[in-house]
Amino acid sequence: VGSIILHELNSTRTARWYEAASSTHRTEAWAERLRCFIGLSEMLAEQAAIPRAARNPANPANRDPSPPAAMRPGTAPEPENAPGQPDTVLPVKAGSARPRQGQIAPRGLLTEVARRAHFAAHETVYKKFRAEWEGPVARWAGTDEAIKPRNALVAEAKIVSFWAYREGVLQIAVKFDMTLPEVAEAYLRALAAWAGDDVPLAACRPAGPPACVAEDMAVLAALWTQRHCGGRIRGAPSGVPSGTPSGVPSGVPSGASSGGVPSESLEWANGSRRIVSPPRNGTRDREKDPVTEKAEQLETLARTMVTTVLDDPTITPAGAFGAMRDDLVKLLAEPADPLADQLSRAAAQLSDRILHQAPSDVILTPQQASRLLTALTGLSGLLAPIAVASGPQGADRGGLAQGGGR
C-alpha cells in the first residue's frame, strides 16, 4: 500500500514541478530561487521577533528563543510599496495565557527579498515570479496573471520548505508499507512539525499549509474512495486503475491535477484555496462527488493542523494531531451501513437509560424487554459470523488508535 501511495503522491502536479525545477539544482536559476526563499524566511523570522524584543526582558519568555511572538492578524492590502515593517505587529501583554502567532503580511516583500538575496534590483525577483516568468525554472503558480508575483513567491517558498518533510514521510511510508490512515496521520504530523519549525513562514499571508497539501489530500481521498467505494467515483468509470496517464489518481478533481502548470484561480492566493470540482448540471449541483468531498474534509483537517500550531506554537505535532485524531478516524473509517450506526446509537441510549433509571421510571415493560431481547439475540447470531470473519478487534494495524504521544 505504501508504494502505491508513494507512486500517486510522486505524480501530483507539484511533485512534477518540484522534480523539474530542482533537477536544475546545480544551476544558478534554482540556486537563485533558493536564495529568495531563504531571504523570505529570514525576513519573516526577523519580523516575528520584533514584538519579543519589545517585551519586558525580565520575562523568562524573552530569554527563550523558541516561543514565537504574538501578533494579531494583518489586514494589509497587496503590499508592494514601502519595504520594512509588517503592517500589523503587536506584542502580547505580559502574562498572556499562551503564545500565539497571527498572520504576517509584510510590506514590500519582493523588494526586501531581493535585498536579502543580494539582487541589485527587485525586478530580478519580480521577473522570476510573475506570470510571464523569465529563466529556466517555471514558477509553480503557472501563467495565471491574477496570481501576483508576491503570492507566487510565498506559495513556492512554503512548498519548497515543506517538501523535505513530505519526503521524510514518504520514505518511511514505503519502507514500512504504511496503510492509508497511517500515511495520513504521518503526513499531518509532519505538516504540524513544519509549521512549528518555521512558524513565521506558516503564518505568512495567506497563513496556512503549503498549496501542495490540497493536492496530496486529494490523492489520499481518491485512494480511499477507490478502496472503500469500489472505485466507482462519479466522473470516472468503475475499475479505473489508480494511475491515470497524467499520473494523478482517477477521481482527483481536475483543478488539482491539470496539466504541467497550475490552473488555480486567485482562490489559493487569497488564503481560501479549495479544490473546485467542475460544475455539474441539474440536481447534481448541490451534490459533491465523494472524492472532492473527502479531499475537502482532509484539507480542512490539514488547515486546522497548521492553525492549531499557530494558535499555540508550543504544541507538539503529536498534540496537534491528538486534537483531531477522532476527526481523521471518522473520515477514513470504512463506510458503515446507516442502520448499523442508528442501532449503535440506540443501544448506547437505551443502556444509558436502563442503567440510570430512577426507581419510579419504567423504561420498558417486561414484554417489551422480552421482545427486544429475542430480536437482539437473533441479530447477534447473524452478526457473529461477520464479526469472526473480520478477525480480532483492534488487529487492523492500519487503524488509528485512540490516544497519542507527547
Stretch 279-318 residues interacting with other proteins (CB under 8 A):
312, 314-318
Cβ–Cβ < 8 Å for 74, 105: yes
At what angle are helices 122-129 and 149-175 packed, to 10 degrees? 60
339 interacts with other proteins by CB under 8 A: no
Please report how close the Cβ of residue 304 comes to other proteins at its closest, in angstroms.
11
What does DSSP assign to residue 130? S
Interface with other proteins includes 240 (CB under 8 A)? no
- Rounded least distance, CB 66 to other proteins, Å: 5
Residues linked to residue 204 through DSSP beta bridges, in sequence order: 104
CA angle 74, 79, 80 (to 5 degrees): 165
Comparison of 38 and 54: residue with beta carbon closer to other proteins: 38
Q: How far is the CB of 319 from other proteins (least distance, A)?
A: 5
Residue 260 near other proteins by CB under 8 A: no
Report if residue 173 touches other proteins, rule: CB under 8 A: yes
Residue 405 lies near other proteins (rule: CB under 8 A)? yes
Q: Which of 176, 272, 278, 375 binds other proteins (CB under 8 A)?
A: 176
Out of 11, 103, 161, 304, which residue is the one contacting other proteins (CB under 8 A)?
161
Span interacting with other proteins, options 49-57, 142-150, 246-254, 354-362, rule CB under 8 A = 354-362
Which of 8, 182, 216, 296 touches other proteins by CB under 8 A?
182
Q: In this complex, which beta carbon is closest to other proteins, that of residue 38 or of residue 49?
A: 38
Q: Is residue 352 at the binding interface for other proteins, with CB under 8 A as the rule?
A: yes
Of 84, 168, 230, 239, the residue at the interface with other proteins (CB under 8 A) is: 168
* Options 4-12, 72-80, 138-146, 385-393: segment touching other proteins (CB under 8 A): 385-393
Nearest to 222 by CA among 200, 189, 244: 244
Q: Which of residues 34-63 bind other proteins (CB under 8 A)?
A: 34-35, 38, 59-61
C-alpha neighbours within 13 Å on the C-beta side of residue 130: 10
The answer to whether 270 contacts other proteins (rule: CB under 8 A) is no
Stretch near other proteins under the rule CB under 8 A, chosen from 74-82, 91-99, 236-244, 256-264: 91-99
Member of 95, 241, 245, 282 binding other proteins (CB under 8 A) = 95
Could you say which residues in the range 98-127 bind other proteins, by CB under 8 A?
Answer: 98-99
Site string for other proteins, 67-86 (x = CB under 8 A): x-------------------
Q: Residue holding cell 480511499?
A: 224
Asked if residue 325 binds other proteins (CB under 8 A), the reply is yes
Of 176 and 371, the one with the shorter C-beta distance to other proteins is 176
Q: Of 177 and 287, which has the nearer Cβ to other proteins? A: 177
Per rule CB under 8 A, count of chain residues that contact other proteins: 75
When binding is defined by CB under 8 A, the residue of 123, 134, 326, 334 that contacts other proteins is 326
Residue 255 beta carbon to other proteins: minimum distance, rounded to whole angstroms: 26
Task: Annotate the chain with three-state secondary structure.
Answer: CHHHHHHHHCCCHHHHHHHHHHCCCCCHHHHHHHHHHHHHHHHHHHHHHHHHHHCCCCCHHHHCCCCCCCCCCCCCCCCCCCCCCECCCCCCCCCCCCCCCCCECECCHHHHHHHHCCCCCHHHHHHHHCCCCCCCCCCCCCCCCCCCHHHHHHHHHHHHHHHHHHHHHHHHHHHCCCCHHHHHHHHHHHHHHHHHHCHHHHHECCCCCCCHHHHHHHHHHHHHHHHHCCCCCCCCCCCCCCCCCCCCCCCCCHHHCCCCCCCCCHHHCCCCCCCCCCCCCHHHHHCCCHHHHHHHHHHHHHHHHHHHHHHCCCCCHHHHHHCCHHHHHHHHCCCCCHHHHHHHHHHHHHHHHHHCCCCCCCCCCHHHHHHHHHHHHHHHHHHHHHHHHCCCCCCCCCCCCCCCCC
CB of 64 to other proteins, least distance (A): 5
Please report, as residue ranges, which positions from 194 to 233 form the binding site for other proteins (by CB under 8 A).
194, 197
Q: By CB under 8 A, is residue 363 in contact with other proteins?
A: no
| Whole-number Å distance between alpha carbons of 319 and 316 | 5
The smaller minimum CB distance to other proteins, of residues 62 and 258, is found at: 62
